[in-house]
Amino acid sequence: MTKFSDLNLNPKVLKAIDEAGYESPTPIQAGAIPPALEGKDVLGIAQTGTGKTASFTLPLITQLARGRARARMPRSLVLCPTRELAAQVAENFDTYAKYVKLTKALLIGGVSFKEQDILIDKGVDVLIATPGRLLDHFERGKLILNDVKVMVVDEADRMLDMGFIPDIERIFGLTPFTRQTLFFSATMAPEIERITNTFLSAPERIEVARQATTSETITQGVVLFKGSRRDREPSEKRKLLRALIDAEGETCTNAIVFCNRKVDVDIVAKSLKKYGYDAAPIHGDLDQSQRTRTLDGFRDGSLRFLVASDVAARGLDVPSVSHVFNFDVPSHAEDYVHRIGRTGRAGRDGKAVMICIPRDEKNLDDIEKLVQREIPRMENPLKPETSTAPEREDKPKRSRSRKAAETRDVSKPEAKPDTQPDDKPKRGRGRRGSGDKSSSEKSDRGGNKVVGLGDHTPEFIGLSFKERIAS
């Protein structure tokens, strides 16, 4: 079995690896580190959770151990699609470079430009950044990329999904063509393939697993769910989520709940908190300091449920996540692989449960085609009556009211045969003016007052009768 000591890494890096508790590299690490140390371009393809971050961090530290950075001119550049992933890379760098005197800067949104400018001005060996913030610094004249010797693109397929490909191409153009490029991705879309053919020179391709495969340590399942009514579907779906969490019992030590939309992230998090579940949201619209606090709480175990958008599907390195709940079926099949990859990491067992409503069944089919397996169907833990009880309670009420109305309508005609013989002469005498009561004071046989025109009859109506009486 290959060990890190066999990979020709810097002794100080090996010491840090040993203290971190690692002995043997993962397949992607064993395949990518040797050619990276030789200065070759590397194209690494591996499913999430296989240790891609260390695949470029370890050789990068070893190569930069000698030399010194100049002001505003970083010696290496690591591009990440999200703030969380960039922060994770920075943590890995701190862990493995603790005995090597290297400097780093983290350029992400939500942090003051001034603090980042101070670090860049001093000169950094490793610059870890998201594409947007990197270009912001470059356009302000605070950054020069002419001295970049190694460029790393992490989670390239996520860059594609988030629309960063034009920015990536521009950044490639700002760096020297003699640079070494390390390119990592979980999947290889045609657009990603085009970029690698354009900007990588004879890359060493390391593919340790079939593209878009899911880890065998993850137990998967999907619940097919249909709401009783369209307007009740969201609340019933949240009720189903709580039932699925309860069904897992004590095995669900912590979990990430993924939603497609940011607004749903907030709603689901508030719903879980309302019913006594320790939950907090994380998505791109939240302040960076709040996102950091939430992630720190989830990592240290003080927060049990993290409700997230896909911003957290990449870069969340919490080894002990026991469950992933997909509240929504992801719109892009590749996102399913990354979402459930947050559990079952480092050889641990994990479980991924998804809720699928009828309009998401097409997306479910796409996922099953991508992973080339059928996701097992699970039973709905809620009884069928539970979700439809309110509707059945309403139906009898409406039917009873209709029946009562029909009964009232039917009873009126039945009373007419009894009253007609006696009423006809009375109405006749009333018309001839011989009755004792005015029409407004007359009563029917049941004693109910009959309301008519009475003394308020307009004068013009009686004109013809006056002429007839006079004649």
> Tokens representing 159?
């860059």
Confidence bin at 283 (pLDDT 50/70/90):
confident
DSSP state letters, 302-371: S--EEEE-GGGTSS---TT--EEEESS--SSHHHHHHHHTTSSGGG--EEEEEEE-GGGHHHHHHHHHHH
Domain boundary residue among 150, 182, 207?
Answer: 207
- State residue 77 phi and psi, 5-degree precision: -140, 130
**Residue 129: pLDDT over 90:** yes
Q: Do 166 and 243 share a domain, yes or no?
A: no
Domain boundary residue among 332, 366, 387?
Answer: 387
Look at the chain and report how many structural domains it folds into.
Answer: 3
Average pLDDT over all residues of the chain: 82
Q: Do 350 and 289 share a domain, yes or no?
A: yes
Q: Do 253 and 339 share a domain, yes or no?
A: yes
404 falls within a domain: no
44 falls within a domain: yes
Question: How distant is the alpha carbon of residue 303 from its chain centre?
Answer: 18
Residue 308: what pLDDT?
A: 92
Q: Do 357 and 442 share a domain, yes or no?
A: no
b/e string for 2-15 if b means 16 or more Cβ within 10 A?
Answer: eebeebebbebbbe
Q: Do 15 and 124 share a domain, yes or no?
A: yes
Q: Do 139 and 82 share a domain, yes or no?
A: yes
Q: Do 253 and 198 share a domain, yes or no?
A: no
Q: Do 283 and 237 share a domain, yes or no?
A: yes
Mean predicted confidence (pLDDT) in 413-437:
45
Residue 370: what pLDDT?
A: 87
| Residue pair 240/234 in contact by the 8 Å Cβ criterion | no
Q: What percent of the chain is modeled with pLDDT above 90?
A: 52
427 falls within a domain: no
Q: Do 222 and 126 share a domain, yes or no?
A: no
Q: Do 26 and 83 share a domain, yes or no?
A: yes
Question: How distant is the alpha carbon of residue 298 from its chain centre?
Answer: 17
Residue showing tokens 């097919």: 224
Q: Which residue has the higher pLDDT, 273 or 111?
A: 273
Cα–Cα distance for residue pair 367/299, rounded to 1 Å: 29
421 falls within a domain: no
Domain boundary residue among 139, 173, 207?
Answer: 207
373 falls within a domain: yes
Integer-rounded Cα radius of gyration of the chain: 37
b/e string for 221-240 if b means 16 or more Cβ within 10 A?
Answer: ebbbbebbeeeebeebbbbb
Residue 466: what pLDDT?
A: 60
**Residue 261: pLDDT over 70:** yes
Residue 341: what pLDDT?
A: 83
Cβ count near 151 (within 10 Å):
22
Cβ count near 66 (within 10 Å):
8
Q: Do 288 and 367 share a domain, yes or no?
A: yes
Cα–Cα distance for residue pair 204/202, rounded to 1 Å: 7
Give pLDDT tens digits for 182-215.
999 877 888 889 999 999 999 999 988 655 667 7
Mean predicted confidence (pLDDT) in 8-36:
92
Residue 372: what pLDDT?
A: 87
Confidence bin at 286 (pLDDT 50/70/90):
confident
Q: Which of 330, 327, 353, 309 is nearest to 237 (CA)?
A: 327
CATH of residue 55? 3.40.50.300
**Residue 71: pLDDT over 70:** yes
13 falls within a domain: yes
Overall size of the chain counted in residues: 471
> Tokens representing 373?
């397996």
234 falls within a domain: yes
Q: Do 345 and 470 share a domain, yes or no?
A: no
Sheet with 104-107, side-by-side order of all strands = 104-107, 126-129, 76-79, 150-153, 180-185, 42-45, 204-207
Cβ count near 244 (within 10 Å):
23
Cα–Cα distance for residue pair 379/370, rounded to 1 Å: 24
Containing domain of residue 33, as a range?
A: 4-207
442 falls within a domain: yes
Confidence bin at 323 (pLDDT 50/70/90):
very high
Q: Which residues contact 209 (CB under 8 A, 6 or more apart)?
A: 27, 45, 46, 47, 50
Cα–Cα distance for residue pair 434/452, rounded to 1 Å: 17
Residue 435: what pLDDT?
A: 45
Give pLDDT tens digits for 349-388.
899 999 999 999 999 999 999 888 899 999 999 865 444 4
Poorest-confidence range of 216-220, 270-274, 398-402, 444-448? 398-402
Question: Which helix (H) or strand (E) is 152 found in, with range?
Answer: strand 150-153
What does the DSSP 8-state code read for residue 450? P
